[in-house]
Structure 1
Amino acid sequence: MKQKKINFLESSLNYSLLKSDSDSLIVGVDEVGRGCLFGGVVAAAVAMPLKKIHLLRDIGVNDSKKLTPRKRESLINPIKAVVDCYSIVEVDNITIDQINIFQASLLAMTRAILNLSISPYLCLVDGKFTLPNLSFPQISLIKGDMRSPLIASASILAKVWRDEKMLEYDQRYTNYDLKNNKGYGTKKHLDAIALYGLTPLHRKSFNCGQ
Protein backbone atom coordinates (compact mmCIF):
# COMPACT_ATOMS: atom_id res chain seq x y z
CA MET A 1 0.00 0.00 0.00
CA LYS A 2 1.42 3.35 -1.03
CA GLN A 3 2.27 5.73 1.78
CA LYS A 4 0.55 9.10 1.68
CA LYS A 5 1.58 12.10 3.77
CA ILE A 6 -1.21 14.47 4.75
CA ASN A 7 -0.89 17.58 6.88
CA PHE A 8 -3.86 17.86 9.23
CA LEU A 9 -2.40 19.28 12.44
CA GLU A 10 -1.47 22.76 13.59
CA SER A 11 2.14 23.93 13.44
CA SER A 12 2.54 22.20 10.07
CA LEU A 13 2.88 18.88 11.88
CA ASN A 14 2.74 16.03 9.36
CA TYR A 15 2.13 12.36 9.88
CA SER A 16 2.61 9.59 7.34
CA LEU A 17 -0.61 7.62 7.22
CA LEU A 18 -0.59 4.22 5.58
CA LYS A 19 -3.71 4.90 3.54
CA SER A 20 -4.26 5.44 -0.16
CA ASP A 21 -7.13 7.92 0.40
CA SER A 22 -8.32 10.49 2.94
CA ASP A 23 -11.55 8.76 4.00
CA SER A 24 -9.88 7.34 7.12
CA LEU A 25 -11.84 8.11 10.29
CA ILE A 26 -9.68 10.01 12.77
CA VAL A 27 -10.63 10.55 16.41
CA GLY A 28 -9.55 13.38 18.69
CA VAL A 29 -9.98 13.01 22.45
CA ASP A 30 -9.40 15.35 25.40
CA GLU A 31 -10.43 15.71 29.04
CA VAL A 32 -11.31 18.62 31.32
CA GLY A 33 -11.54 19.00 35.06
CA ARG A 34 -8.38 17.17 35.97
CA GLY A 35 -7.21 19.87 38.37
CA CYS A 36 -10.55 20.44 40.09
CA LEU A 37 -11.45 19.82 43.70
CA PHE A 38 -15.13 19.22 42.97
CA GLY A 39 -16.95 16.88 40.59
CA GLY A 40 -15.78 14.43 38.00
CA VAL A 41 -13.36 14.51 35.11
CA VAL A 42 -15.05 14.75 31.71
CA ALA A 43 -13.71 13.52 28.39
CA ALA A 44 -15.04 13.96 24.88
CA ALA A 45 -14.12 12.23 21.63
CA VAL A 46 -15.01 13.35 18.12
CA ALA A 47 -14.56 11.45 14.88
CA MET A 48 -14.59 12.44 11.23
CA PRO A 49 -12.79 11.56 7.97
CA LEU A 50 -9.36 13.02 7.47
CA LYS A 51 -10.50 14.89 4.39
CA LYS A 52 -13.18 16.80 6.34
CA ILE A 53 -11.13 18.00 9.30
CA HIS A 54 -10.63 21.40 7.66
CA LEU A 55 -14.35 22.03 8.26
CA LEU A 56 -13.61 22.43 11.96
CA ARG A 57 -11.26 25.28 11.16
CA ASP A 58 -13.88 26.79 8.89
CA ILE A 59 -16.42 27.07 11.71
CA GLY A 60 -13.88 28.70 14.03
CA VAL A 61 -12.63 25.83 16.20
CA ASN A 62 -9.59 26.80 18.23
CA ASP A 63 -7.90 25.91 21.51
CA SER A 64 -10.78 26.00 24.01
CA LYS A 65 -8.67 27.95 26.53
CA LYS A 66 -8.36 30.78 24.01
CA LEU A 67 -12.12 31.04 23.49
CA THR A 68 -14.62 32.88 25.63
CA PRO A 69 -17.37 30.82 27.30
CA ARG A 70 -19.91 32.31 24.89
CA LYS A 71 -17.78 31.41 21.87
CA ARG A 72 -17.32 27.85 23.13
CA GLU A 73 -21.07 27.51 23.61
CA SER A 74 -21.74 28.88 20.11
CA LEU A 75 -19.51 26.18 18.59
CA ILE A 76 -21.29 23.19 20.16
CA ASN A 77 -24.00 22.73 17.52
CA PRO A 78 -21.70 23.48 14.54
CA ILE A 79 -19.17 20.92 15.82
CA LYS A 80 -21.87 18.29 16.26
CA ALA A 81 -23.14 19.06 12.76
CA VAL A 82 -19.84 18.50 10.93
CA VAL A 83 -18.32 15.55 12.83
CA ASP A 84 -19.46 12.02 12.03
CA CYS A 85 -20.01 11.16 15.70
CA TYR A 86 -19.06 12.27 19.18
CA SER A 87 -19.11 10.97 22.74
CA ILE A 88 -18.97 12.66 26.16
CA VAL A 89 -18.13 10.65 29.29
CA GLU A 90 -17.73 11.56 32.96
CA VAL A 91 -15.75 9.64 35.57
CA ASP A 92 -17.10 10.67 38.96
CA ASN A 93 -15.29 11.91 42.05
CA ILE A 94 -15.70 8.58 43.88
CA THR A 95 -13.82 6.76 41.11
CA ILE A 96 -11.19 9.50 41.08
CA ASP A 97 -10.60 8.94 44.79
CA GLN A 98 -10.35 5.19 44.24
CA ILE A 99 -7.92 5.10 41.30
CA ASN A 100 -6.35 8.64 41.35
CA ILE A 101 -6.96 11.52 38.95
CA PHE A 102 -4.35 10.47 36.40
CA GLN A 103 -5.86 7.03 35.93
CA ALA A 104 -9.37 8.50 35.99
CA SER A 105 -8.43 10.91 33.18
CA LEU A 106 -7.12 8.05 31.05
CA LEU A 107 -10.24 6.03 31.84
CA ALA A 108 -12.55 8.86 30.82
CA MET A 109 -10.78 9.34 27.49
CA THR A 110 -10.73 5.59 26.81
CA ARG A 111 -14.44 5.29 27.52
CA ALA A 112 -15.20 8.28 25.32
CA ILE A 113 -13.47 6.61 22.38
CA LEU A 114 -15.07 3.23 23.00
CA ASN A 115 -18.52 4.85 23.21
CA LEU A 116 -18.24 6.10 19.64
CA SER A 117 -20.31 4.30 17.04
CA ILE A 118 -17.29 3.83 14.76
CA SER A 119 -13.90 2.14 14.82
CA PRO A 120 -11.25 4.80 14.09
CA TYR A 121 -8.20 4.38 11.93
CA LEU A 122 -6.20 6.61 14.27
CA CYS A 123 -6.73 8.30 17.66
CA LEU A 124 -5.16 11.63 18.55
CA VAL A 125 -4.84 11.90 22.33
CA ASP A 126 -4.16 15.16 24.13
CA GLY A 127 -1.12 15.00 26.42
CA LYS A 128 2.06 12.95 26.51
CA PHE A 129 0.49 9.55 27.23
CA THR A 130 -1.40 7.16 25.02
CA LEU A 131 -4.37 5.22 26.37
CA PRO A 132 -4.08 1.65 27.67
CA ASN A 133 -6.18 -1.26 26.42
CA LEU A 134 -7.12 0.26 23.08
CA SER A 135 -6.68 -1.70 19.87
CA PHE A 136 -6.57 1.44 17.71
CA PRO A 137 -3.32 3.17 16.69
CA GLN A 138 -2.71 6.29 18.77
CA ILE A 139 -0.61 9.44 18.67
CA SER A 140 -0.22 11.48 21.85
CA LEU A 141 0.11 15.23 21.33
CA ILE A 142 1.37 17.58 24.01
CA LYS A 143 -0.78 20.73 23.81
CA GLY A 144 -2.92 18.81 21.36
CA ASP A 145 -5.80 21.27 21.64
CA MET A 146 -3.49 23.85 20.07
CA ARG A 147 -2.23 21.51 17.35
CA SER A 148 -5.26 19.51 16.24
CA PRO A 149 -8.74 20.84 15.44
CA LEU A 150 -10.13 17.41 16.35
CA ILE A 151 -8.68 17.53 19.85
CA ALA A 152 -9.73 21.18 20.18
CA SER A 153 -13.30 20.21 19.26
CA ALA A 154 -13.30 17.43 21.85
CA SER A 155 -12.01 19.88 24.44
CA ILE A 156 -14.79 22.36 23.65
CA LEU A 157 -17.51 19.71 23.94
CA ALA A 158 -16.12 18.44 27.25
CA LYS A 159 -15.57 21.92 28.67
CA VAL A 160 -19.05 23.22 27.87
CA TRP A 161 -20.71 20.02 29.13
CA ARG A 162 -18.82 20.14 32.42
CA ASP A 163 -19.38 23.88 32.92
CA GLU A 164 -23.13 23.36 32.50
CA LYS A 165 -23.01 20.65 35.16
CA MET A 166 -21.22 23.04 37.51
CA LEU A 167 -23.98 25.61 37.04
CA GLU A 168 -26.52 22.96 38.01
CA TYR A 169 -24.50 21.97 41.08
CA ASP A 170 -24.18 25.61 42.06
CA GLN A 171 -27.94 25.64 42.64
CA ARG A 172 -27.59 22.72 45.06
CA TYR A 173 -24.35 23.70 46.80
CA THR A 174 -24.78 27.44 47.01
CA ASN A 175 -21.89 28.21 49.34
CA TYR A 176 -19.02 27.12 47.08
CA ASP A 177 -19.21 29.61 44.18
CA LEU A 178 -19.24 26.77 41.64
CA LYS A 179 -20.79 28.94 38.95
CA ASN A 180 -17.58 30.97 38.88
CA ASN A 181 -14.82 28.55 39.87
CA LYS A 182 -16.27 25.49 38.02
CA GLY A 183 -14.89 23.27 40.77
CA TYR A 184 -11.32 24.59 40.75
CA GLY A 185 -9.55 25.53 43.96
CA THR A 186 -9.98 29.29 44.10
CA LYS A 187 -9.55 31.11 47.39
CA LYS A 188 -13.30 31.55 47.74
CA HIS A 189 -13.82 27.85 47.12
CA LEU A 190 -11.16 26.84 49.65
CA ASP A 191 -12.54 29.27 52.22
CA ALA A 192 -15.99 27.72 51.76
CA ILE A 193 -14.58 24.22 52.29
CA ALA A 194 -12.87 25.39 55.48
CA LEU A 195 -16.14 26.89 56.72
CA TYR A 196 -18.74 24.38 55.53
CA GLY A 197 -16.75 21.21 54.90
CA LEU A 198 -16.72 18.93 51.87
CA THR A 199 -19.83 18.05 49.88
CA PRO A 200 -20.43 14.49 48.61
CA LEU A 201 -19.08 15.61 45.24
CA HIS A 202 -15.72 16.91 46.47
CA ARG A 203 -12.65 14.81 45.76
CA LYS A 204 -11.26 13.57 49.05
CA SER A 205 -8.00 12.47 47.44
CA PHE A 206 -7.03 16.12 46.99
CA ASN A 207 -5.82 18.24 49.88
CA CYS A 208 -8.70 20.69 50.20
CA GLY A 209 -7.45 22.31 53.35
CA GLN A 210 -8.95 19.74 55.72
Structure 2
Amino acid sequence: MSNEQSSIFKDSQIRKGIIASVIASLLVVIFIQPVIRLVWSGILTFGTHVFQGFIDSIYANAARGHRNYVDVIILMLISSILSGFFCGGTFVITKQSIKPDTISKRLSRKSRLIILWILLVALHLSLIFLIIKPFSDIQLNTSFQQRLTIISPYLTNIEEKKLKASWASMEFRTDYEKIVSQIEKIANDNNAKLPILLWK
Protein backbone atom coordinates (compact mmCIF):
# COMPACT_ATOMS: atom_id res chain seq x y z
CA MET A 1 0.00 0.00 0.00
CA SER A 2 1.46 3.41 -1.02
CA ASN A 3 1.85 6.29 1.42
CA GLU A 4 -0.98 8.16 -0.31
CA GLN A 5 -3.35 5.19 -0.01
CA SER A 6 -2.33 4.68 3.61
CA SER A 7 -3.01 8.35 4.36
CA ILE A 8 -6.47 8.16 2.75
CA PHE A 9 -7.25 4.99 4.74
CA LYS A 10 -6.18 6.64 8.01
CA ASP A 11 -8.19 9.80 7.22
CA SER A 12 -11.25 7.63 6.55
CA GLN A 13 -10.80 5.81 9.87
CA ILE A 14 -10.40 9.13 11.73
CA ARG A 15 -13.59 10.48 10.14
CA LYS A 16 -15.47 7.31 11.07
CA GLY A 17 -14.15 7.59 14.63
CA ILE A 18 -15.28 11.23 14.91
CA ILE A 19 -18.72 10.45 13.47
CA ALA A 20 -19.11 7.47 15.83
CA SER A 21 -18.09 9.67 18.79
CA VAL A 22 -20.57 12.41 17.88
CA ILE A 23 -23.42 9.89 17.45
CA ALA A 24 -22.54 8.21 20.76
CA SER A 25 -22.46 11.64 22.49
CA LEU A 26 -25.92 12.49 21.17
CA LEU A 27 -27.30 9.13 22.31
CA VAL A 28 -25.84 9.60 25.80
CA VAL A 29 -27.33 13.14 26.03
CA ILE A 30 -30.75 11.75 25.07
CA PHE A 31 -30.68 8.74 27.39
CA ILE A 32 -28.58 10.00 30.36
CA GLN A 33 -31.56 11.13 32.50
CA PRO A 34 -33.57 7.87 32.11
CA VAL A 35 -30.39 5.90 32.82
CA ILE A 36 -29.68 7.94 35.98
CA ARG A 37 -33.23 7.35 37.23
CA LEU A 38 -32.98 3.63 36.41
CA VAL A 39 -29.67 3.29 38.28
CA TRP A 40 -31.12 5.17 41.27
CA SER A 41 -34.19 2.92 41.36
CA GLY A 42 -31.89 -0.11 41.21
CA ILE A 43 -29.78 1.24 44.09
CA LEU A 44 -32.88 1.79 46.25
CA THR A 45 -34.39 -1.58 45.35
CA PHE A 46 -31.40 -3.93 45.40
CA GLY A 47 -28.48 -2.14 47.01
CA THR A 48 -29.91 -0.32 50.02
CA HIS A 49 -27.43 -1.82 52.47
CA VAL A 50 -24.42 -1.54 50.16
CA PHE A 51 -25.10 2.06 49.12
CA GLN A 52 -26.78 3.28 52.33
CA GLY A 53 -24.06 5.85 53.06
CA PHE A 54 -24.24 7.21 49.51
CA ILE A 55 -28.06 7.32 49.62
CA ASP A 56 -28.15 9.16 52.96
CA SER A 57 -25.48 11.63 51.79
CA ILE A 58 -27.78 12.67 48.93
CA TYR A 59 -30.57 13.66 51.33
CA ALA A 60 -28.16 15.38 53.71
CA ASN A 61 -26.75 17.31 50.75
CA ALA A 62 -30.25 18.36 49.66
CA ALA A 63 -30.87 19.86 53.11
CA ARG A 64 -28.32 22.58 52.30
CA GLY A 65 -30.73 24.31 49.93
CA HIS A 66 -30.86 25.18 46.25
CA ARG A 67 -27.93 25.15 43.84
CA ASN A 68 -27.45 26.51 40.34
CA TYR A 69 -29.21 24.19 37.88
CA VAL A 70 -26.95 25.38 35.05
CA ASP A 71 -23.99 23.73 36.80
CA VAL A 72 -25.76 20.37 36.67
CA ILE A 73 -26.64 20.79 33.00
CA ILE A 74 -23.02 21.65 32.15
CA LEU A 75 -21.79 18.66 34.18
CA MET A 76 -24.23 16.35 32.39
CA LEU A 77 -23.24 17.77 28.99
CA ILE A 78 -19.49 17.38 29.61
CA SER A 79 -20.02 13.86 30.99
CA SER A 80 -22.14 12.95 27.97
CA ILE A 81 -19.53 14.24 25.50
CA LEU A 82 -16.71 12.41 27.29
CA SER A 83 -18.80 9.26 27.41
CA GLY A 84 -19.65 9.53 23.73
CA PHE A 85 -16.06 10.01 22.62
CA PHE A 86 -14.85 7.11 24.75
CA CYS A 87 -17.65 4.90 23.35
CA GLY A 88 -16.89 5.93 19.78
CA GLY A 89 -13.16 5.39 20.24
CA THR A 90 -13.73 2.00 21.86
CA PHE A 91 -15.99 0.84 19.02
CA VAL A 92 -13.41 1.89 16.41
CA ILE A 93 -10.55 0.19 18.29
CA THR A 94 -12.64 -2.97 18.70
CA LYS A 95 -13.50 -3.04 15.00
CA GLN A 96 -9.87 -2.56 13.95
CA SER A 97 -8.66 -5.23 16.37
CA ILE A 98 -10.92 -7.98 15.05
CA LYS A 99 -8.70 -9.17 12.18
CA PRO A 100 -7.36 -12.59 11.14
CA ASP A 101 -3.98 -13.13 12.73
CA THR A 102 -1.93 -15.61 14.70
CA ILE A 103 -3.59 -17.17 17.76
CA SER A 104 -1.15 -15.53 20.18
CA LYS A 105 -1.72 -12.07 18.71
CA ARG A 106 -5.49 -12.54 18.74
CA LEU A 107 -5.41 -13.57 22.41
CA SER A 108 -3.24 -10.57 23.27
CA ARG A 109 -5.61 -8.23 21.45
CA LYS A 110 -8.62 -9.88 23.07
CA SER A 111 -7.19 -9.36 26.58
CA ARG A 112 -6.49 -5.69 25.81
CA LEU A 113 -10.01 -5.25 24.49
CA ILE A 114 -11.50 -6.82 27.62
CA ILE A 115 -9.51 -4.40 29.80
CA LEU A 116 -10.59 -1.51 27.56
CA TRP A 117 -14.28 -2.42 27.88
CA ILE A 118 -13.98 -2.89 31.66
CA LEU A 119 -12.45 0.59 31.91
CA LEU A 120 -15.23 1.98 29.69
CA VAL A 121 -17.93 0.49 31.95
CA ALA A 122 -16.11 1.80 35.06
CA LEU A 123 -15.93 5.27 33.49
CA HIS A 124 -19.67 5.33 32.80
CA LEU A 125 -20.54 4.16 36.30
CA SER A 126 -18.29 6.88 37.74
CA LEU A 127 -19.95 9.55 35.58
CA ILE A 128 -23.44 8.39 36.60
CA PHE A 129 -22.55 8.47 40.31
CA LEU A 130 -20.96 11.91 39.80
CA ILE A 131 -24.17 13.28 38.30
CA ILE A 132 -26.68 11.63 40.67
CA LYS A 133 -25.88 13.81 43.72
CA PRO A 134 -26.30 17.33 42.22
CA PHE A 135 -29.22 16.24 40.02
CA SER A 136 -31.11 14.63 42.91
CA ASP A 137 -30.30 17.61 45.14
CA ILE A 138 -32.10 20.01 42.81
CA GLN A 139 -35.04 17.68 42.27
CA LEU A 140 -35.52 17.09 46.01
CA ASN A 141 -35.34 20.77 46.94
CA THR A 142 -37.66 21.78 44.11
CA SER A 143 -40.29 19.26 45.22
CA PHE A 144 -40.02 20.31 48.86
CA GLN A 145 -40.39 24.03 48.10
CA GLN A 146 -43.28 23.42 45.69
CA ARG A 147 -45.18 21.20 48.13
CA LEU A 148 -44.49 23.51 51.08
CA THR A 149 -45.88 26.43 49.08
CA ILE A 150 -49.07 24.44 48.38
CA ILE A 151 -49.75 23.55 52.02
CA SER A 152 -48.52 26.85 53.52
CA PRO A 153 -52.08 28.36 53.65
CA TYR A 154 -53.00 25.58 56.08
CA LEU A 155 -49.98 26.09 58.35
CA THR A 156 -49.23 28.54 61.09
CA ASN A 157 -45.99 30.49 60.84
CA ILE A 158 -44.43 28.25 63.52
CA GLU A 159 -45.50 25.02 61.75
CA GLU A 160 -44.00 26.20 58.47
CA LYS A 161 -40.73 27.11 60.18
CA LYS A 162 -40.65 23.69 61.85
CA LEU A 163 -40.97 21.95 58.47
CA LYS A 164 -38.15 24.07 57.05
CA ALA A 165 -36.03 23.33 60.11
CA SER A 166 -36.66 19.59 59.72
CA TRP A 167 -35.55 19.80 56.07
CA ALA A 168 -32.44 21.80 56.91
CA SER A 169 -31.42 19.31 59.61
CA MET A 170 -32.07 16.23 57.44
CA GLU A 171 -29.25 13.65 57.49
CA PHE A 172 -30.79 10.32 56.46
CA ARG A 173 -33.36 9.01 54.00
CA THR A 174 -35.63 8.15 56.95
CA ASP A 175 -35.66 11.86 57.88
CA TYR A 176 -36.77 12.67 54.34
CA GLU A 177 -39.55 10.05 54.42
CA LYS A 178 -40.91 11.51 57.70
CA ILE A 179 -41.05 15.01 56.17
CA VAL A 180 -42.81 13.72 53.04
CA SER A 181 -45.35 11.83 55.17
CA GLN A 182 -45.96 14.91 57.31
CA ILE A 183 -46.55 17.13 54.27
CA GLU A 184 -48.86 14.56 52.66
CA LYS A 185 -50.89 14.20 55.88
CA ILE A 186 -51.39 17.98 56.06
CA ALA A 187 -52.42 18.02 52.39
CA ASN A 188 -54.89 15.14 52.86
CA ASP A 189 -56.42 16.72 55.97
CA ASN A 190 -57.06 19.92 54.01
CA ASN A 191 -57.97 18.35 50.63
CA ALA A 192 -54.94 19.95 48.98
CA LYS A 193 -53.59 18.31 45.83
CA LEU A 194 -49.84 17.78 45.85
CA PRO A 195 -47.69 17.38 42.71
CA ILE A 196 -45.81 14.12 42.14
CA LEU A 197 -42.40 14.04 43.76
CA LEU A 198 -39.65 14.82 41.24
CA TRP A 199 -37.28 12.46 43.08
CA LYS A 200 -38.04 9.67 45.54
| TM, length-normalised to structure 1 | 0.30
Which has the bigger relative contact order, CA under 8 A and spacing at least 6?
2
TM-score normalised per structure 2: 0.31
Task: Choose between structure 1 and 2: higher helix proportion.
Answer: 2
